[in-house]
Structure 1
Amino acid sequence: MDIPGPEPRADGGVAALAAAGGLHTYQLRLHAAYGPVVRFQLPGAGEAVSVADPVLLEATVGIDRRPERLFAFLDPLFEAGNLQAMPAGEHTPWRRQVLSALAGRPSHERHLPRFTELATALADRWDEQADHGPVGLQKDLTTLSLRMICGYALGGDTADPDRVVAAFEAVLTEHLGRLHQDPPSDPPGTSAGRAEEALAHLRATVDRVVRAHRSGGRAGSSDLIGALVEAGASPARIRDTVMAMMLAAHHTTGVAVSWTLHLLGGHPEVADRVAGELDRVLGDRAAPDYADLRRLRYLEMTLKESMRLYPPGPYGARETTGPLTVGDYEIPAGTTILYPFWAIHMNPDHWPEPEEFRPERFTPEETARRPRLAYVPFGIGPRSCEGAALAMVEAELVLAVLLKRFRFRPAPGHRVTPVERFVLWAADDIRMTVHRRTANQDRGDAPGRRPAAG
């Protein structure tokens, strides 16, 4: 059976993608028009197949190849081969080494005090702006997430973490600009030159930490680098891994937290219940410890529902290594498979009234009723995000610190428009006013009707 989809166009699909406002919204439109499996032109990949049904996705879950052309824009960041598209045989042992550092509770618990310190510093700064005008959530929160992951990846062994953060932002801006073909705002060569200098600084910083680990002087100060050194990874591979981790962290924690605050600002009933839970679990304490995070169940449900409505990474990609049967369709080898996370999360067959913001969708009972791939904010299969567990710890901590202290309201007249910029960003940031919590502002955790997500 032929896979349905729009007729091919001479421009390779560029105009259709642009008219939709990005790949994330284009996939929503495609699946609404053609069903759960769609064939379409994807610029840079020729023809692709998008699958939005979680049951049909099971047929693709074991694929461990990414299409190299789609990730080629990241090639200059890596010295030992593009980690986003490395061959499966090389990827499996590398992933095992990275997970040994990122997935374990001891590592998360050890870094929590520093994460708390950084989150509290942001809260202190926002406290000075409270009741005085809006703050730009995504700018501040993505900078916070970079500071957190910089400390985690480098173990606090860098003398100037702010310079590392600034250097990474320069590198990221340059390479995402190449992906989206933004016109340069600087004279020719200026932006690229700054990015090259910043990249050299990042690599030199990682090299210093690696040398310290190899000499035994600061063994264990970076769980990630320590695990890779112990596994015998080359210096270039270690540098690449730190860069990849910073890239992933930059577009997960900060973006997820910002969309969650945006949703809570428009849904005061949910915000009341989150505040009530924080007060019960934390009492007079301003921040949770690691054990508290497990008790903040409604906060976790709220974060998950936010990432359903606004997944930080709106899609994933794989390349078939052989013929593949997906439902009634035969997909040939070498086909680019798109995982449209946003369309999957908005599938009404598994998410009734999908536009509604309802954290209660993530009770254990509700979760057990859905197919396991109905919710995939961190990807699918052997190429899913290695830092997913760490990202959840960071995001829940930051939300707890901020929501214990503040209430957030939409900035008057500010329109929040999701756009795809490698991540699900907001076109003009998410601007909200910050208000200190007081006893008469909060009504505990009384349940109420959940208005539709806006």
Structure 2
Amino acid sequence: MRIPGPEPRVDGGVGAVAAAGGLHNYQLRLHAEYGPVVQFQLPGTETAVSVADPVLLEATAHIDKRPERLFEFLAPLCEAGNVQVMAADEHTPWRRLLLSVLAGRPSHERHFAQFTALTTALADRWAGQAGREPVALQKDLTALTLRMICEYALGGDATDPDRVVAAFEEVLTESLGRLYQVPVPGTQEERAERAAESLAYLRATVDRVVAAHRSGSRTDKSDLIGALVDAGERPARIHDTVMVTMLAAHHTTGVAVSWTLHLLGRHPEAAERVADELDRVLGDRAAPEYADLRRLTYLEMALKESMRLYPPGPYGARETTEALVLGDYEIPAGATVFYPFWAVHMNPDHWPEPEKFVPERFTPQEAAKRPRLAYIPFGIGPRNCEGAGLAMIKAELVLAVLLKRFRFRPAPGHEVRPVERFVLWAADDIRMIVSPRSQQAG
């Protein structure tokens, strides 16, 4: 059976993606019009198929190849070859090493006090402007989570996290703009020059991080550079891994926390439930201990629901190495299969009234009713996010500290508009008014 989708266009589909405001919006529109499996045009792919049905996605979960052209926008960050599209035989040991560093709960607990101190420092700064000018959530929270990943895995603090975050944004905006012809301010020459300067700064930053790493025996399993050295990785691959880790770990977590605070600010009843839970679990303490996180169940549900509505990474993709049957359709070998996280999360068959913010969707009873892949903010299969567990711990800690101390409300007149970058970003940040709340236990 022919896979449904729009008629081919002479421009290869780039105009449709640009008109929709990015690939994630385009996929939402395609699935709304054509159903759970859609074939469409995309520059650099002969056959592109997007699958928003979590049951059908199961048949693709084993695929361990990414389409090179689709991830080309990350290539400027890498010197030894784009780590996002490594061949499976090279990717598997590299992934195993990353999991050994990022997924260890003892390491998470050991670094928890430092994470708390970094978060408290940001909260102290926000307290100084409470009730006055709005805070820029994305800017401050991505800088915070960059500091966290540097402290956890890279041996120290980022020298200038705001500049690092801005440099990543400059490089990726230019690279994505070229790939999908997305309108970006400035002439092509000006954009290229800004991107080149930002890339040079990022590479110099990574050079300093690697050079500052103390050689010798590794005593901490969360030491990413030490693990790479012990594994015999060549210097260029070590640099690339540090670069991509800095990018992925700060962008996704900072953005997830920002969208959660945005949604709670627009849903005061849910925010009050989170605050009541924090008062009940923490009492007079300003921050949780590591063991407290598993008792903050409603806070975790609110975070998960925000990542359903605004998945930090809006889509993933794989390339079929052999023909694949999905329900009534056959996907040829060499096709690009999209995991449109946003469209999966908005699938009304599994998420009634999907546009509504309802944290209670994530009670154990409700979650048990859904297919396994109905909720996939960290991807699926052998290329899913190695840092998912660490990201959740950091996000829950940051939310707990901030929501124990402050109330958040939308800044008057400020429009929050999602746009596609490497992550699902807000075009002009997410600006909110912060005010202190009572610290009495409820």
- 1:176 is matched with 173
> 2:208 is aligned with what amino acid?
T
Residue 279 of structure 2 is aligned to residue 282 of structure 1: no
Matched, 1:152 2:155: no
Change (3 A) 1:188 1:386: closer
C-alpha distance in 2 between matches for 1:385 and 1:357:
24
**Structure 2 equivalent of residue 47 of structure 1:** 47
Shift of 1:222: 4.9
1:270 Cα deviation after fit: 0.4
Unaligned stretches of 5+ residues in structure 2:
179-183
Question: Which residues in structure 2 correspond to 1:165-314 (within 5 Å)?
Answer: 166-167=163-164, 169-181=166-178, 182-184=184-186, 187=190, 190-210=193-213, 212-213=214-215, 215-216=216-217, 219-220=219-220, 222-314=222-314
- Residue 49 of structure 1 aligns to which amino acid in structure 2? V
Give the conservation status (yes or no) of the 8 Å contact 2:143–2:165: no
Assess, with a 3 A threshold, how the Cα gap between structure 1 residues 183 and 326 changes in structure 2: closer, same or farther: same
Deviations 1:28-49 (A, max 9, x none): 1111110100001113334310
Q: Secondary structure in 1 aligned to 2:409?
A: strand
Q: Helix, strand or coil: the match of 2:368?
A: helix
Residue 165 of structure 1 and its aligned partner are, at CA, apart by 5.8
Q: Does 1:163 align with 2:171?
A: no
How far did residue 184 of structure 1 move? 4.4
CA-based RMSD of the aligned residues comes to: 2.0
1:340 and 1:261 mapped to 2: Cα distance? 24
Aligned-residue identity in percent: 70
1-structure distance, mates of 2:165, 2:208: 12
Larger CA deviation: 181-190 vs 278-287: 181-190
* Range moving further from structure 2, 241-250 or 317-326: 241-250
Question: 5 Å matches for 1:105-120?
Answer: 105-120=105-120
Q: Following TM superposition, by how much is the alpha carbon of 1:399 offset from its aligned partner in structure 2, in angstroms?
A: 0.3
Q: Deviations over 1:112-140 (max 9, x none)?
A: 11111111111111111111121111111
Distance 1:167 1:34 in 2: 41
Opposite residue 388 of structure 1, the aligned amino acid is: A
Change (3 A) 1:93 1:136: same
Q: CA deviation at 1:359?
A: 0.8
Equivalent position SS for 1:232? coil
Pair 1:238–1:439, CA change in 2 (3 A): closer
What per-residue deviation string (whole Å, max 9, x for no partner) do you get for residues 179-224 of structure 1? 22435478576424422431332232233245x23x34x7438522
Query: Which residue identity lines up with residue 397 of structure 1 in the other structure?
Result: L
Measured against aligned partners, the alpha-carbon deviations of 1:297-320 in whole angstroms (never above 9, x if no partner) come to 111111000000110011001100
Q: Which residue of 1 is the match for residue 405 of structure 2?
A: 405
Matched AA of 1:198? Y
How big is each residue's C-alpha offset from its partner over 1:32-70, in whole Å with a ceiling of 9 and x where there is no partner? 110100001113334310000000000100000000011
- Aligned equivalents of 1:116, 1:183: Cα separation in 2: 38
What do residues 59-87 of structure 1 show as CA deviations (whole Å, max 9, x unaligned)? 10000000001112222222222110000
How has the CA–CA distance of structure 1 residues 397 and 370 changed in structure 2, closer, same or farther, with 3 Å as cutoff?
A: same
Partner of 1:422: 422
Partner Cα distance (1:40, 1:302) in 2: 34
Instruction: Name the SS for the 1:408 alignment partner.
Output: strand
Conserved 8 A contact 2:107-2:222: no
Q: Which amino acid aligns with 1:194?
A: E
Q: Give the secondary-structure state (helix, strand or coil) at the position aligned to 1:226.
A: helix
1:175/1:18 Cα in 2 relative to 1: closer, same or farther (>3 Å)?
closer
Deviation at 1:178, TM superposition (A): 1.9
Show the counterpart of 2:364: 364
Partner of 1:76: 76
CA 1:313–1:274 in structure 2 vs 1: closer, same or farther (change >3 Å)?
A: same
Pair 1:387 & 2:387 matched? yes
Measured in 1, the distance between the counterparts of 2:195 and 2:299 equals 41
Measure the CA separation in 2 of the matches of 1:153 and 1:103.
Answer: 11
- Deviation, 1:419, is 1.1
SS across alignment from 1:162: coil
**Amino acid aligned to 2:353:** E
Residue segments in structure 1 that go unaligned for 5+ positions in a row: 445-454
**1-side partners of 2:190 and 2:89: how far apart?**
43
Kindly tell me the number of residue pairs found equivalent between the two proteins: 436
- TM-score in terms of structure 2 length: 0.94
Contact 2:172 2:422 in 1 (8 A): no
Question: Residue type matched to 2:210 in 1?
Answer: D
SS at match of 1:251: helix
The separation in 1 between residues aligned to 2:186 and 2:388, in whole angstroms, is 34
